[in-house]
Amino acid sequence: MKVTDENQPGPVYECKCCGHCCHGQATVSVSEQEQARMAEFLGLALSDLIDRYLNVKEHCTEMKIVDGHCIFYGDDGLCMVHPVKPFHCRRWPLHPSILGDEAAWKAIRRDCPGFREDVSYEEVCDFVRNNLHGIE
Where b means 16+ CB within 10 Å and e means fewer, 9-30 reads eeebbeeeeeeebbeeeebbeb
Q: Residue 39 interacts with ligand SF4 (CB under 6 A)?
A: no
CB of 25 to ligand SF4, least distance (A): 12
CA 53 to chain centre: 18
CA 75/CA 59 separation, integer angstroms: 30
43 to 102, contacts with ligand SF4 by CB under 6 A? Answer: 63, 70, 72-73, 79, 81, 85, 89, 92-93
Taking the complex as a whole, the smallest distance from the CB of residue 87 to ligand SF4 amounts, in Å, to 10
Query: Does position 38 bind ligand SF4 by CB under 6 A?
Result: no
Residues that bind ligand SF4 (CB under 6 A): 15-22, 27, 63, 70, 72-73, 79, 81, 85, 89, 92-93, 112-114
